[in-house]
């Protein structure tokens, strides 16, 4: 018998369990896999000694979350340390030119200013707006909507920006990345640079309405000394390990390799869980599921325990576009086109024109393999050399987005319709896109590990359809509508059953915010 049982050891559940354990609750997490942390997974996927993060690779939103601000010293005692990026991102173009996002405003403006002085001034204004409302934006992460807390944050933004300024900010946030870039910048390369930033939070395409806010937040965080972009030393598993160690120090239990088969429901109340081995575990106060809504309600609860209209809402829940990943083990550090600063960027966006980005997104949306996918490259060993043997390096490469179901190839060259058939051939296409930007890269590759959208779902069933955001993050599935209209405050139609994780507010990203907000609500 526990006060709270948590299904899944994802980082949101680790945060929620830590807060409840600190408050004196007896808590236990039951996790189907053999490691805690969910998507925070680091593994020698290519060769021994090369440590790859197989899902999230960078930390950014976490630094603004209440969980980090309260627990950072505790997690530090369990071995957590970060390496922050001086150049979080760079967009590279075919002629070797680039636009940098640096951790200092002056350096970013200098890079943009080489293309347009007016664009540099516009970027400065965007950043100053972010700084004025940063604490309020961070507060939205901690407040389940709708609530008095979210209303107060909105009023504070109005007071800080003024009535007209607040309306202008809201309008900008609701734009698509393409429209935001078009309104704020004049140079096509600076526009493409901004659109790439929007894709970092929620996987937005150039024309996804309401996704401009993601670009504004990412832009601001990267240059914010209180936030920044970083990697945990040793990989994302080090963050999971610190969270797990802290929870255990508080008396919380983590049971690995123990899969939950169903939530035990009596009289519309969650009484506990039944494991796949038949064991029943009871919960006095709460069952907290760190699962996507379709998995929780349609598989672990069952439609027979739920109102019909709620089941209809769940069945209509949309998952977003998938990603395609390649992990590379390299014999030496790659040399990229462009200036010396681009070589040290933590993240490289391979940026043709804005039209090319939109075309790749459109092709993936219509279930076709993009002919020229939009490619991003991460360089973890630029920040943390110990992730590879001495003198060697790792890269991760994503083609984002990718279709989960393949109905065709936009280039007409790949005939297969199964990811297991085509993933290596498609990986060759993705790597070939890098040749003009990194001559000789293929000669450095000692091994590679390819993860298709189907592989990602196999690796973690919570990545339904290979969607890393646990559900489309378009406006109708965000904020007060996440995960379902009328059910945005972690509660469910089953008493004492709560939903946690990326499918709830504030959405995707390594933040721990929903775990904190849920735990706070349960203690009120």
Q: Which residues of 166-185 are buried (b: 16+ CB within 10 A; e: fewer)?
A: beebeebbebbbbebbeebb
Percent of the chain whose predicted confidence (pLDDT) is above 70: 99
Cα–Cα distance measured from residue 143 to residue 131, given in angstroms and rounded to the nearest whole number: 20
Answering whether pTM is above 0.85, one says yes
pLDDT at 213 over 90: no
Q: Which of 360, 341, 60, 115 is nearest to 226 (CA)?
A: 60
Residue 290 confidence (pLDDT): 97
Give the H/E segment covering residue 408: strand 408-409
Beta-bridge mates of residue 497: 287
Give the H/E segment covering residue 98: strand 98-101
Lowest mean pLDDT among 74-78, 349-353, 358-362, 434-438: 349-353
Q: Which residues of 220-254 are buried (b: 16+ CB within 10 A; e: fewer)?
A: bbbbbeebbbbbbbbbbbbbbbbbbbbbbebebbb
pLDDT at 214 over 90: no
Cα–Cα distance measured from residue 469 to residue 242, given in angstroms and rounded to the nearest whole number: 23
For residue 487 the two structure tokens come to: 């059910």
For residue 499 the two structure tokens come to: 């939903």
pLDDT at 202 over 70: no
Cα–Cα distance measured from residue 98 to residue 342, given in angstroms and rounded to the nearest whole number: 8
Residue 211 confidence (pLDDT): 84
Model pLDDT for residues 473-503, shown as the tens digit of each residue: 888 999 999 999 999 999 999 999 999 999 9
Model pLDDT for residues 91-110, shown as the tens digit of each residue: 999 888 899 999 999 999 99
pLDDT at 203 over 70: no
Q: Which of 398, 400, 389, 395 is nearest to 442 (CA)?
A: 395
Q: What's the chain's average pLDDT?
A: 94
DSSP state of 387: G
CA angle 343, 58, 209 (to 5 degrees): 100
Confidence bin at 207 (pLDDT 50/70/90)? confident
Q: Helix 177-184 vs helix 354-365: angle between axes, to the nearest 10 degrees?
A: 170
- Taken in order 456, 457, 461, 467, the sign of the CA dihedral is positive
For residue 239 the two structure tokens come to: 């963050």
CA angle 452, 209, 60 (to 5 degrees): 60
Cα–Cα distance measured from residue 80 to residue 83, given in angstroms and rounded to the nearest whole number: 10
Which residue shows structure tokens 């009328």? 486
HSE of 351 in the Cβ direction (CA atoms, 13 Å)?
27
- Taken in order 447, 453, 458, 463, the sign of the CA dihedral is positive
């Amino acid at each position: 018998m526990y006060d709270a049982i948590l299904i899944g050891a994802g980082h949101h559940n680790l945060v929620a369990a830590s807060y409840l354990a600190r408050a004196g609750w007896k808590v236990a997490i039951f996790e189907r896999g053999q490691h805690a942390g969910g998507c925070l997974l680091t593994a020698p996927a290519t060769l021994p000694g090369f440590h790859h993060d197989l899902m999230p690779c960078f930390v950014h939103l976490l630094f603004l979350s209440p969980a980090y601000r309260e627990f950072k010293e505790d997690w530090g005692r369990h071995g957590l340390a970060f390496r922050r990026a001086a150049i979080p991102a760079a967009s590279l173009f075919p002629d070797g030119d680039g636009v940098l996002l640096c951790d200092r405003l002056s350096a970013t403006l200098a890079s943009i200013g080489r293309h347009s002085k007016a664009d540099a001034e516009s970027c400065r204004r965007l950043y100053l707006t972010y700084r004025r409302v940063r604490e309020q934006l961070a507060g939205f992460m901690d407040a389940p909507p709708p609530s008095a807390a979210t209303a107060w944050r909105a009023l504070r933004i109005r007071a800080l920006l003024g009535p007209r300024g607040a309306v202008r900010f809201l309008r900008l946030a609701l734009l698509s990345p393409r429209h935001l870039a078009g309104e704020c910048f004049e140079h096509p390369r600076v526009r493409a640079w901004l659109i790439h930033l929007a894709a970092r939070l929620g996987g937005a395409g150039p024309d996804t309405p309401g996704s401009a806010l993601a670009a504004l937040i990412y832009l601001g965080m990267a240059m914010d000394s209180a936030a920044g972009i970083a990697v945990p030393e040793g990989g994302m598993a080090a963050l999971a390990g610190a969270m797990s160690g802290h929870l255990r120090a508080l008396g919380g239990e983590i049971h690995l390799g123990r899969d939950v088969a169903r939530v035990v429901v009596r009289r519309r109340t969650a009484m506990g869980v039944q494991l796949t081995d038949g064991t029943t575990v009871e919960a006095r106060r709460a069952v907290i599921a760190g699962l996507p809504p379709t998995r929780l309600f349609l598989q672990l609860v069952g439609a027979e325990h739920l109102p019909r209209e709620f089941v209809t809402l769940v069945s209509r829940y949309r998952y977003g576009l998938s990603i395609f990943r390649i992990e590379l083990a390299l014999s030496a550090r790659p040399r990229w086109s462009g200036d010396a600063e681009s070589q040290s960027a933590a993240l490289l966006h391979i940026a043709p024109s804005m039209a090319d980005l939109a075309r790749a997104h459109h092709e993936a949306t219509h279930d076709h393999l993009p002919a020229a996918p939009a490619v991003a490259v991460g360089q973890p060993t630029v920040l943390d050399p110990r992730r590879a043997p001495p003198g060697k390096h790792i890269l991760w490469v994503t083609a984002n987005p990718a279709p989960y179901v393949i109905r065709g190839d936009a280039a007409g060259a790949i005939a297969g319709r199964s990811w297991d058939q085509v993933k290596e051939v498609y990986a060759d296409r993705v790597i070939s896109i890098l040749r003009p930007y990194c001559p000789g890269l293929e000669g450095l590759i000692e091994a590679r590990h390819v993860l298709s959208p189907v592989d990602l779902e196999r690796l973690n069933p919570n990545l339904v359809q290979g969607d890393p955001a646990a559900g489309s993050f378009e406006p109708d599935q965000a904020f007060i509508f996440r995960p379902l209209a009328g059910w945005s405050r972690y509660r469910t139609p089953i008493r004492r059953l709560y939903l946690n994780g990326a499918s709830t507010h504030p959405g995707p990203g390594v933040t721990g915010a929903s775990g904190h907000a849920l735990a706070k609500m349960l203690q009120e």
